[in-house]
Amino acid sequence: AQRVTQPEKLLSVFKGAPVELKCNYSYSGSPELFWYVQYSRQRLQLLLRHISRESIKGFTADLNKGETSFHLKKPFAQEEDSAMYYCALMIGGTSYGKLTFGQGTILTVHP
């Protein structure tokens, strides 16, 4: 079965510092990887997906199939980036649409 691991439950950085939220997955096929974010008092929302290869709010994530990783990075963290971040995986076939989530990382950006 597939699995997503986010090793850091809490991550604290200062404003302007680089930030990297780690995500590793286990799945023998070719999954789709996503980062979801939940800001305080807001619902869970999609931040970015690996197939789009986009940068959202300054965040990027590259899928490394060799290391089975999908780390989320931002060169200069902002206070408004403070939130809960979830890495998620979706496989295809009859399981298309179903997401497997990691445990989540709470990011705190200090002024």
Partner 1 sequence: SAVISQKPSRDICQRGTSLTIQCQVDSQVTMMFWYRQQPGQSLTLIATANQGSEATYESGFVIDKFPISRPNLTFSTLTVSNMSPEDSSIYLCSVVKADIPNEQFFGPGTRLTVL
Binding stretches for partner 1 (CB under 8 A): 32, 43-46, 49, 51, 86, 97-104
Taking the least distance from each CB to partner 1, the nearer of 12 and 45 is 45
Taking the least distance from each CB to partner 1, the nearer of 15 and 99 is 99
DSSP 35-85: EEEE-TTS--EEEEEGGGT--BTTBEE--BTTTTB--EEESS--GGG-EEE
Residue 35's closest CA among 67, 69, 77, 66?
A: 69
In angstroms, give the least distance from the CB of 59 to partner 1.
Answer: 16
In angstroms, give the least distance from the CB of 88 to partner 1.
Answer: 8
Residue 18's closest CA among 62, 81, 69?
A: 81
Taking the least distance from each CB to partner 1, the nearer of 26 and 45 is 45
In angstroms, give the least distance from the CB of 89 to partner 1.
Answer: 12
